[in-house]
Structure 1
Amino acid sequence: MTGSTTNFNFLLILVTELTRHKLRVLLFIAVIASALAVILSTHHNRQQNIALEELMREKDQLDVEWRNLVLEQRALTEHNRIEAMVEKELDMHRPGVNDEVVVRIK
């Protein structure tokens, strides 16, 4: 019984002190709320930085892929390569002087 009376007396003293110093209690709650806001803000900032780094890494990978595709396109569209493929695969050749026909329109 002594333990429960002691606990009750402690709670009574605590409530009495809290109601007597309302401004201190409000300031304490404001400090705790501010600390939690700083923690949440820092966490959100870190998450955004991680997302930004991942997007920058993806941008770099896409940039490298785009450069490789541009180089491949240039290689595939070179005139000499196309001419060699046409001669080899389609058996086509440039017409000679005797094969040319000039058509005149009157």
Structure 2
Amino acid sequence: MKAEETVEIDLAGKTSLADTMIIASGRSQRHVGSIADKIIQEMKAKGFGNARVEGMPACDWVLIDAGDILVHIFRPEVRGFYNLEKIWGADRPTGARLAG
């Protein structure tokens, strides 16, 4: 679906929410919705069950929660505003550093 600026962030040891976060951009609301639809179809086809999905009506930001994998698909302006890469990126402290 030609998602843009796709980033994968390893969350293992940083949170119990998921092991991996994938962040991508779509050029428009329609593109964001199309990317999300394709990901949901592929997950179902590969046996990952029913993921929880939020944000489909507006398609500014769609979150697909498949348990161990979180997928965020944004319009570029919304992605820049929330800046999840900075929040969850490599410089975020791990649980071990927080405890010590």
Superposed pair shares fold, TM > 0.5: no
Higher strand share: 2
| Rg (Cα) greater in structure | 1
Report the TM-score when normalising by structure 2. Answer: 0.21
Q: Which has the higher contact order (CA 8 A, sep 6+)?
A: 2
> Which is richer in helix?
1
